Structure 1
């Protein structure tokens, strides 16, 4: 060891004497360069025969991709490697107006790709630096697209529009989303583009639901939120339309078309919460969404006096179209449970009020009995309605837009955080000016078709965990409303 140390020291001393540079000093070119890959698709949904335009930017000369349909069993449907890569600039306004990257790969949708959510994994590999940091590096990223049915309704009577508007609203790639808490400099955006990398939220709520449904043998067709707006004819063949998880952002055409579907006798089941809370306006043919939210007075529509599509709460007094009119419940009389500091000691369980209803058939529930707590099916964000107690049972007042005939089957306490509510001068408040306690409300009503709601984002947690009551209620709904 001493001989080797002296030898290296001698070489180093000679280099310093001759050049003034230490032998082990690394230059910028010696170490590993920046390394990564990202991408997005040119549309949200496709069907057989359509061409998927894949926009990829990478530091590597080549990348690979793997396309997998996610469900009860993941199915790899396509792998490609050694695809030519190129690095593209990121515009300053990428969050709001997109990246503008060129199409790097085109994929024609085969006829045997069944309807579903398809994850695209992009991957690049290199050996690190030239002289130092010589590691085998792998960079991966996920994006997605949706396959609509080639022949709607041919394989089943249930359609699930995925909550893609909400995916985009929370996406802060490029620096901004429709939220301030994770935006650059804590600034909130009012426009979000789909033409930028978007991982989605499918795995959090919708995947547990569809994985369970597929294991039970239910055939479900898929589409994107904006298909309800731009392809309303897609609804026609179906008996039942689903909303699952966190389906928060809706455009007026989306809602118009679904309400018309219900009026014609179609059924809808909202296995979701915070549903249809904010009104958005689609732009660029659906490639961008605008929503001014709390800053509604800055919306260009505000000074016009035409507030029907003002991009703020659907339940805002200027819009005059509370989501209760569609779902039976709304976020103003719901709020948080086991989140945002509200009811953090809660049980995450519903209390049954009317266990004799057909939705509870076969559950064995009794009045006042809790269910779903083991898997906290009531959690995160919840929807409810204004109600009063009569003969020990909750009955809607209908003052908040909840339709006549709406029946409250179960409930769980929920409440808004004051910071989220104080901006809205018509928010339901107590005598101290703080938000009134609300509830997550599970219930149903009929108006042409039947509408059922669970009033919580986390219902699918019970399906993932195998909760027997949650499973039976879900089966009762799917069986009755899809026939």
Structure 2
């Protein structure tokens, strides 16, 4: 399949939407209309200085900054210098290094939120974004944006934590990724007509990935549906705005550096795909919960430990290469940038949020529980979070809109007289109440070459078996491939976490599925019992 937009083929690209390697970057021919840019930081507060860096085919670039929302609010329109500048081939890792084109002091009246920055010349425009945290709390709820995962998936320039141009042969994923580059197409604004990830291909056929097919055919990042503001947090924020639920905004990067960030808030909201966390982020979240805070998490795939540079502009995660390459192996191994459930960290994922990605992961796509219900089977319908839904024992929540999907978090559990309980040795630091659950897996089921998956396959199950269980054989592959995703309440210290452990919960809000909306209202605005 041919490429369009500003996408180019990476090393070994086979032209396939699923297995191919392609990415977005500057066209070296500056006779072609183009305008690109980024901010010098990801997050700011009123009174901070914001710098715009960019390149363009024209001498002047029109810039529009708007606070995103149901009706985006334009706060600045101006023209800034353009012109050509060199883009390093390793810009995904080291940053683009483009010249500063404009500088401004953020006015005190700009409200907390996500702000889009549009760079435009005749014939082309691109979008960037930054987050404005409040000068002082203005809402009861803080929306903590999963910016660690945004960074991990952003493939502008060729490299992210999944594929890349690094290593001795220029074909390996990047263990380090920079914020000093544009966001890939689809991360800031959802492409019109684009499908979400869950898709059940016909049985006994090779699984399709419609979102990847759409991306390659339309000049969109291959990872547009996996992460970014547009995929998860934006539709959640728009739903809250429609419901009259006020939010302040901050990022995981803010949480990393500020132990007191969460303390003024009654509740902290996390939504979508928060796969990547630093040790410091967890420290500060745990302290908030222990002290009486409430975390409302409607997200999935709590999985990898990362590190951030002192200036918060570079994220490091060696992933499955960590034992061989991460310098932490020669020092403090608890900081190894691998699974949180790696034996060296001594800090299981369940300790913070009650659930873990290594007991869940995939559902509703590929050959991974793709023909499941798409919702959570309910076991404790009298739980306060289900008040007003009308659902009972054995009913399924969210199946109509497929809220159980893409990547999910679960826990090892056992059944007692029809009720699920967390199994002993699960790594919990408090009391977990499982409200609902559904099966998930890391293994793409196959009966032969005719329905064999070319993307997930056996790889992830083998990796979980090796890292979590210490070896790869029939027994550990079985353990690694039998998982689940849960809705659960986790009481720890004086606080609590409500954890709807699925990336796709927001699909229920997009579809306005009434029971899903009711649970969300209960958690964000109701009494937690």
Superposition TM-score, scaled by structure 1 size? 0.86
State whether structure 2 residue 484 is matched by structure 1 residue 439: yes
- Between the aligned partners of 1:302 and 1:76, the Cα distance in structure 2 is 45
* Deviation (angstroms), 1:198: 1.9
- Cα 1:181/1:344, change in 2 over 3 Å: farther
The superposition leaves residues 38-97 of structure 1 with CA deviations (integer Å, 9 ceiling, x where unpaired) of: 11101111121212100011121111011121223322222223x221211111321111
Q: Which moved more, 1:379-388 or 1:342-351?
A: 342-351
The superposition leaves residues 215-254 of structure 1 with CA deviations (integer Å, 9 ceiling, x where unpaired) of: 1111110011110011232222111111110011111111
Question: Aligned residues, how many?
Answer: 437
- Between the aligned partners of 2:106 and 2:432, the Cα distance in structure 1 is 43
Ranges in structure 1 where 5+ consecutive residues have no aligned partner: 1-30, 126-137
Which of 333, 353, 376 is 1:307 aligned to?
Answer: 333
State whether structure 2 residue 52 is matched by structure 1 residue 54: yes
- Between the aligned partners of 1:79 and 1:91, the Cα distance in structure 2 is 29
Which of 159, 181, 191 is 2:176 aligned to?
Answer: 191
Equivalent position of 1:421 in the other structure: 461
Equivalent position of 2:114 in the other structure: 117
Equivalent position of 1:347 in the other structure: 373
Aligned runs of 1:382-393 on 2, under 5 Å? 382-393=408-419
Larger Rg: 1
Equivalent position of 2:9 in the other structure: none
CA contact (8 A) 2:363 2:440 kept: yes
- Cα 1:481/1:237, change in 2 over 3 Å: farther
State whether structure 2 residue 135 is matched by structure 1 residue 150: yes
- Between the aligned partners of 2:265 and 2:30, the Cα distance in structure 1 is 54
The superposition leaves residues 401-421 of structure 1 with CA deviations (integer Å, 9 ceiling, x where unpaired) of: 134420000011110132113
- Cα 1:430/1:410, change in 2 over 3 Å: farther
Q: Which moved more, 1:441-450 or 1:181-190?
A: 181-190
CA contact (8 A) 2:377 2:438 kept: yes
CA contact (8 A) 1:430 1:436 kept: no
Superposition TM-score, scaled by structure 2 size? 0.79
- Cα 1:383/1:432, change in 2 over 3 Å: closer
SS at match of 1:235: coil
The superposition leaves residues 189-215 of structure 1 with CA deviations (integer Å, 9 ceiling, x where unpaired) of: 100011111244111111111111111
CA contact (8 A) 1:239 1:482 kept: no
Ranges in structure 2 where 5+ consecutive residues have no aligned partner: 1-28, 188-227, 444-457
Aligned runs of 1:319-330 on 2, under 5 Å? 319-330=345-356
Equivalent position of 1:270 in the other structure: 297
CA contact (8 A) 2:360 2:408 kept: yes
State whether structure 2 residue 216 is matched by structure 1 residue 216: no
Q: Which moved more, 1:355-364 or 1:226-235?
A: 226-235
- Between the aligned partners of 1:413 and 1:144, the Cα distance in structure 2 is 36
Equivalent position of 2:215 in the other structure: none
